[in-house]
Amino acid sequence: MPTAVSHSRAVLQTFQYSAHAGWSCGRLPELDSEHTFVVAFGAPEFGQDAAPLAELTRHFAKSSLVGCSTAGEIFGTRMHDATITVAAMRFARTRLRRVSAPVSQSTSFATGAALARQLAAGDLKAVFLLAEGLDINGSELVRGLSSGLLPGVVVTGGLAGDGDRFQRTWVLEAGAPASGIVSAVGFYGDALRVGHGFKGGWDAFGPERMVSRSSGNVLYELDGKPALALYKQYLGDRAKGLPATALLFPLTMRAPHDHDKVVVRTVLAVDEQQQSMRFAGDLPMGHITRFMRANFDRLVEGASAAARLSNCSDVPGPVLALTVSCVGRRLVLGERTEEEIEAALDALPAGTEQIGFYSYGEVSPLTNGQCDLHNQTMTLTTLAEA
């Protein structure tokens, strides 16, 4: 288990890297310790040009460092491409433990359960995870992780992104970008204050349709008709841009007799030969779906609502907000993307420092406390110490 903490109070610094300007902070901050949480969200191209990530890893050799590729990096109230956005938070009374494991679509539940066994402890308060964004069943990963943790442990995070290309994502492992990895940090102790919130802002339309044929996160038929053909009807000329353009029409999904637990699913890949679509999370047979479309104002309002739900107030030290928003929201919002980022930060306590990324899937608890995989949402995690 992590050792006791020796610092007097938490310290937080956020900074950014770009090829033309280097590190925005000049020299990397001297915050390395066994009690420091470092998170880095980087553009996909740093999977090939990994020198700044290697520098970050060397500098924070003792810290619990996690990172992943993105579909856009969030820094303060701005959205960037071709950068690495970083937060380094050295805690005073919170202990940390980082774990990681290989993951694939077929091993997602087992991987989550294995990580839970490594992290589980009576004083575990929260887990932040970053995972492979394509060859994965995100809902099974979260289900496996939750199965081995005590009720009340807050699990948040997201799936790595690759812009709108859907070709390769990476997660930091042993200081280098690697595919097929999930990495998580556990936070231990009563001093931690963790908040979480998620909201969507999409409008459902059209008839409800039943999942009549599926296997895990692969959807074959809705109401007995090929799902891919149905999607193409809604997309029209945009069908040529699949799978990215399917983000414009996500699915809302619920169990047949449960109107309270509603999640959203979006497409990661299509198979023309099988006329199937692979989603970021499960679509169980018999579940009820509806198509959704964007409502620009409600997307921005949803970001503000998510931030209010995650609010960490009445704490003496710094507050870090980790914002994970779906790539589909960015594609729809276009030039208005920064409006949702600004709305989120405006709803948080003054002085909160925000970083984040646009993802292929968001992890956050539902209102009943159960953690799940979401799509097309903005999720926020706030970290502070009492």
pLDDT tens for each residue of 5-40: 445 789 999 999 999 999 999 999 999 999 999 999
Task: Say if residues 138 and 326 touch (Cβ distance below 8 Å).
Answer: no
Question: Residue 367 pLDDT more than 80?
Answer: no
Alpha helix (H) residue ranges in 87-219: 108-119, 138-147
Identify whether the C-beta of residue 261 lies closer than 8 Å to the C-beta of residue 254: yes
Q: What angle do CA 290, 165, 23 make, to 5 degrees?
A: 120
Number of H helices, E strands in the chain: 7, 27
Per the DSSP assignment, residues forming a β-bridge with 89 are 12, 37
d(CA 199, CA 213): 29
Res. 1 pLDDT band, cuts 50 70 90: very low
What is the predicted pLDDT for the residue at 226? Answer: 93
**Which pLDDT score, from 0 to 100, does residue 7 have?**
56
Q: What is the pLDDT of residue 6?
A: 47
For the chain, percent of residues with pLDDT exceeding 70: 96
The CA R_g of the chain, rounded to the nearest whole Å, is: 20
The helix/strand/coil state of 324 is strand
- Range 149-164 average pLDDT: 95
Window from 69-78, 158-167, 171-180, 314-323 with minimum mean pLDDT: 314-323
CA distance 386 to 160: 31
Q: Is the pLDDT assigned to residue 56 strictly greater than 80? A: yes
The rounded Cα 192 to chain-centroid distance in angstroms is 21
β-strand pairing of 353-359 with 320-326: parallel
Q: Which residue has the higher pLDDT, 308 or 57?
A: 57
Read off the pLDDT of each residue in 232-259 and give the average, rounded to a whole number. 87
d(CA 323, CA 13): 16
Q: Report CA-CA distances (Å) from 313 to 100, 304, 368, 372.
A: 31, 16, 21, 25
**Dihedral of CA 279/282/287/292: which sign?**
negative
Tokens 């960037």, located at residue: 80
Assessment of whether the complete model's pTM goes beyond 0.75: yes
Q: Is the dihedral angle over the CA atoms 176, 177, 183, 189 positive or is it negative?
A: positive
pLDDT at 2 over 60: no
Question: Is the pLDDT score of 223 beyond 60?
Answer: yes
pLDDT above 70: residue 229: yes
pLDDT greater at residue 81 or residue 2: 81
- CA angle, residues 263, 39, 46, in degrees to nearest 5: 95
Name residue 97's beta-bridge partners: 186
Which pLDDT belongs to residue 306? 79
What pLDDT, on the 0 to 100 scale, is given for residue 160? 98
Decide if pLDDT at 3 tops 60: no
Q: Smallest Cα–Cα separation from 116: which of 63, 155, 152?
A: 155
CA neighbours within 13 Å on the CB side: how many for 297?
0
* Helix or strand (DSSP H, E) at 64: strand 64-69
The pLDDT value recorded for residue 353 is 96
Beta-bridge partner residues of 221: 213, 226
What average pLDDT does this structure show over 147-174?
95
Cβ-based burial of 137 (10 A; exposed 0-12, middle 13-18, buried ≥19): buried
For residue 272, pLDDT over 60 is answered with yes
